[in-house]
Amino acid sequence: MAKKIHKFKIAGSPVFVGQSALEELKAHLTGNFSNKEIIFVLADENTIKHCFPVLTSFIPQLSSAATIVVSHGEEFKTLETCERVWNEMAVAGGNRRSLLINLGGGMITDLGGFAASVFHRGMDYLNVPTSLMGMIDASLGGKTGVDLYSLKNQIGLFSASKGVYVWPGFLSTLPHRQLLSGYAEMLKHALIADATFWNRLIKIPMAVISNWEDLIIEAIEIKGDIVNKDPEEMNVRRKLNFGHTMGHAFETYSLRNDENPLTHGEAIAMGMICEAYISYRTIGFSHEQRDEVVKQILLNFNHYKIPTEAIDELVEITNYDKKNEKGRLMLTLLKGIGNSVEGQKCETALVREALFRFTDFGRLVE
């Protein structure tokens, strides 16, 4: 039986999802991209070890690609790492006629997409996401960039990849904590746009999900629908930021203060708890649904314990959020599960209150 492939077009990029996604990539490399003078593969220390051999077993021609390997982890999503990538491409003779294949999670696709888009004023790049986060979110929609002094995604640009190839098989080597991280964005996709998907997700304990492919396809459909209505995030695409203002504050705080920092998804999960609370306080999100959201998150994610002294620092970090307008926080909030509204102004006092209450929310699942 022929293997299924699902095709989407998201923000101008063709997206191929399924068992034969890598065969699709192979065909494109010998077709559309056969004129590329040099093919670079960007990976981190983990994806070069676990994913590159799989990629070359499907596409032997990539064994001779020029590999660029960077350190793994958010703390390396920086301009300094980009400089290394640019340097390696320059030394190898890379130019606008080269192609970069980003093989990794969101750190690699964000950084590689940015590095390719400004190298020689822009070379083509493809994304081959290897983490759940990458498959359902980071590799899609053309947002590329790096962090600046631990502040998230401060430097970057919108730039469409020439293709995204989502092969769920890569998840077999992804550590459980990283799978969970991607699951947070899956919950978010459901919360902002699709109550049926949410109800489906909460029926299956995350730890026993074995068939990710159908869930990935549903999550990609949600992201694609939203992004295609507003590729440059002028209005509805902001819905995808639910949980991210407070989540990025947790992520930055944790990167600065913890030896073993929160993953992106863990931080977003904590951010969603706070923003569900703000939704309840401001736009009529019901108490019952708020508790359902908090409970579902805390069934899967550890409650991140913050000392009261940390609240000032977390509030201060939210002041640097890219989405702020005229010095005020602009949040996406929930009216109901599956029903979100973007562009909601929020006062600092309420952020502070949500953070104080955050320390209590663990009680809901005790």
Ligand X SMILES: NC(=O)c1ccc[n+]([C@@H]2O[C@H](COP(=O)([O-])OP(=O)(O)OC[C@H]3O[C@@H](n4cnc5c(N)ncnc54)[C@H](O)[C@@H]3O)[C@@H](O)[C@H]2O)c1
Cα of first residue to Cα of last residue in the chain, in angstroms, is 48
Which residues, 151 to 170, sit near ligand X by CB under 6 A? 152-153, 170
Close Cβ partners of 341 (under 8 Å, ≥ 6 residues apart): 239, 283, 332, 333, 334, 335
- Which segment (8-16, 40-48, 191-199, 274-282) binds ligand X by CB under 6 A? 40-48
Task: Identify which of residues 32 and 153 has a Cβ nearer to ligand X in the complex.
Answer: 153
H or E element: which one contains 126? strand 124-129
Residue nearest ligand X (C-beta atom): 106
- Options 133-141, 277-285, 338-346, 352-360: segment touching ligand X (CB under 6 A): 133-141
- Please identify which residue in 56, 154, 173, 339 interacts with ligand X, judged by CB under 6 A: 173
Q: For ligand X, which residue of 50, 281, 322, 323 counts as binding (CB under 6 A)?
A: 50
Question: Which DSSP letter does residue 261 get?
Answer: P
Spell out, one character per residue from 103 to 122, where the chain touches ligand X: x when CB under 6 A holds, - when not: -xxxxx-x------------
* Residue 196, beta-bridge partner list: none
Stretch in the footprint of ligand X (CB under 6 A) among 137-145, 189-197, 202-210, 319-327: 137-145
Closest alpha carbon to 275 in 346, 328, 199: 346
Beta bridge partners of 41: 67, 101
Q: What is the footprint of ligand X within residues 181-200 (CB under 6 A)?
A: 181
Shortest distance in whole angstroms from residue 169 CB to ligand X: 9
How do beta strands 99-104 and 39-44 pair?
parallel
Indicate the residue among 265 and 338 with the shorter CB distance to ligand X: 265
Tokens of 240: 């995808």
Contact by Cβ (8 Å): 180, 266: yes
Contact status: 174 vs ligand X (CB under 6 A)? yes
Rounded CA gap, 261 and 279, in Å?
A: 27
Q: Which candidate, 135, 82, 154, places its Cα nearest to that of 317?
A: 154
- Kindly list the residues in this chain that would bind ligand X in the complex (CB under 6 A): 44, 46-47, 50-51, 72-74, 77, 104-108, 110, 130-131, 133-134, 137-138, 141, 143, 152-153, 170, 173-174, 178, 181, 263-264
